Amino acid sequence: GARHAAAEVRALAERLQAPVVAFRGGRGIVGDDHPLGFTCAAGFERWAETDVVIGIGSRLELSWFRWPDKPPGLKTILLDIDPRQATRLEADVAVIADAADATAALTEAAGPARPDRTAEFTALKAEVAQRFTDVGPELEYLRAIRDVLPRDGFFVEEICQVGFASYFGFEVYAPRTFITCGHQGTLGFGYPTALGVQAAFPGRPVVSVAGDGGFMFAAQELATAVQYGLNVVAVVFDNGFYGNVHLDQERLFEGRALGGRLRNPDFARLAETFGALGLTARSPDDLRTALDKAFASGRPALVHVPCELGTGASPWKYLMPKSDRS
């Protein structure tokens, strides 16, 4: 990947005045508060007029798979240390090298800096972000987390509606702070992974988000958190379903669904029985307050967020534009 090459990627982007688009693992290489740091949703706005894609340590999931209607004449340049990637992705030009070294060399060869596009890109990003309100409460909860989580804190996503929305709706400012299951899409990975992040960085705050179904894959790891003082704050969104599965079934089978409904515990009480702090939040403002309490407690904590299935629009139109899921 390119997570160790943030400075080099930023220098190349600024020389070319080219947006840096990251989907999951590359989030924060150029921060969302930089004019050239684009989410997948903002990047798609410029897809139709793109002439060159420079993939730096990337699987190119967006341009190769998720974004439809490839622009005519598009050229792809791939910089990757793995020679197999060049064959798999059929790049027009492939450079097999370390991401930092190759990107620095490309910047030297790129010629003079292009005219500044800060105003243009800042306006575009703001306009795209305004549309996110149609996704529903997921975005408001993500903003609440961002408001409380320090810039160097870790956000660990999970396969759930809030996790999907975080790919474009949660601002990331530094590489390696948005922790993702990546293309594997592993349900239940989030909370155990967050414990590992906290063990590696005991002095930095860690928030894990999960749906009720995903969290229950490893709810017993609350015992591990308490036993070893891993003060992760788990935020569990509880709609009583394997929500993505249930909604897909309804979409594909004329409203019929099977096996997606869950029988859940009181998650806040469950956390307390393990010796963790258990809290409940019923609104984004409640979540801000709960997160403040959780971080101040110096204990492992769980925030239970009861919610209704299907209260927001699907985030998939920003993840796979023009697909049958969007």
Are 144 and 288 in a shared domain?
yes
**In this predicted model, what pLDDT tens digit does every residue of 270-292 receive, in sequence order?**
999 999 999 999 999 999 999 99
CATH code of the domain containing 201: 3.40.50.970
Residue 245, pLDDT above cutoff 90? no
Structural domain ending residue among the three candidates 109, 127, 145: 127
Closest to 177 in 3D by CA, of 22, 21, 20, 25? 25
Residue 324, pLDDT above cutoff 70? no
**In this predicted model, what pLDDT tens digit does every residue of 176-220 receive, in sequence order?**
999 998 877 788 999 999 999 999 999 999 999 999 999 999 999
Write down the residue that tokens 């090298």 correspond to.
97
Cβ neighbour number for residue 112 with a 10 Å cutoff: 5
Structural domain ending residue among the three candidates 84, 109, 127: 127
Are 103 and 189 in a shared domain?
no
CA 30, CA 277: separation in Å to the nearest integer?
A: 35
Are 302 and 163 in a shared domain?
yes
Give the distance from CA 128 to its chain's centroid.
17
Residue 121, pLDDT above cutoff 80? yes
Residue 149, pLDDT above cutoff 80? yes
Query: Residue 253 domain-assigned?
Result: yes
Structural domain ending residue among the three candidates 127, 162, 184: 127
Are 163 and 253 in a shared domain?
yes
CA angle 57, 60, 66 (to 5 degrees): 155
Query: Residue 325 domain-assigned?
Result: no
Are 172 and 276 in a shared domain?
yes
Query: Residue 295 domain-assigned?
Result: yes
Closest to 131 in 3D by CA, of 322, 281, 315? 315
Are 253 and 118 in a shared domain?
no
Please state the domain count of the chain.
Answer: 2
Query: Residue 324 domain-assigned?
Result: no
Query: Residue 52 domain-assigned?
Result: yes
Query: Residue 1 domain-assigned?
Result: no
Are 154 and 282 in a shared domain?
yes
Q: Which residues sit opposite 194 in a β-bridge?
A: none
Are 120 and 140 in a shared domain?
no
Q: Which residues sit opposite 53 in a β-bridge?
A: 76
Are 187 and 309 in a shared domain?
yes
In this predicted structure, which of 84-88, 95-99, 114-118 has the lowest mean pLDDT? 84-88
CATH code of the domain containing 31: 3.40.50.1220
**How many residues are given for the chain?**
326
Query: Residue 326 domain-assigned?
Result: no
Query: Residue 234 domain-assigned?
Result: yes
In this predicted structure, which of 124-128, 201-205, 253-257 has the lowest mean pLDDT? 253-257
Residue 221 · residue 195 · CB < 8 Å = yes
Are 85 and 225 in a shared domain?
no
Closest to 54 in 3D by CA, of 7, 22, 88? 22
Its domain, for residue 100, covers 6-127
Residue 93 · residue 130 · CB < 8 Å = no
Residue type, 221: E
Are 144 and 206 in a shared domain?
yes
Are 152 and 292 in a shared domain?
yes
Closest to 180 in 3D by CA, of 193, 192, 162, 171? 193
CA angle 32, 34, 40 (to 5 degrees): 40
